Amino acid sequence: MLNWKTKDAEKINQLANNGLMKALNIKVTEISDECLKGEMTVTSLHHQQYGVLHGGASCVFAETLGSIASNITLENGKKAVGTQIMMNHLRPFKQGVLAGLARPIHVGKSRQIWEIEIFNQENKLISQGQLTTQIIDF
């Protein structure tokens, strides 16, 4: 069980109501005892030149979920920043709502590693990866 500093998904979404989360239609939907969940509504603005979801958009979705998860485990005065992301894109996706799930692999004092999975509307895995965050004084 994780020691979340907040489980208020709506509060997190309000704080992030600008920037890349807003531009890419990303929102946090649930914070459970074991994971953080979110959604990204995919439109043609998320596509690469061949008309399917751009892998970079999947990476942004994954890093957003993992970074938020990492940050809400931290004490005041600390922040988590992404230092490495690795993604495997397993199947194409065109349009609709994707579900993402971030689960901890390692939650340490100076570094965290999160596994992120992204699913289509049929609950098929379309991307899977890992995010490493460095914990810094802020």
Active site members: 63
Residue tagged 């957003």 (tokens): 64
Pairing of strands 96-107, 78-89: unpaired
**Distance of alpha carbon 98 from alpha carbon 72, whole angstroms:** 22
Alpha helices in the chain (DSSP H): 9-15, 19-23, 55-71
**Distance of alpha carbon 64 from alpha carbon 102, whole angstroms:** 10
**Distance of alpha carbon 84 from alpha carbon 98, whole angstroms:** 22
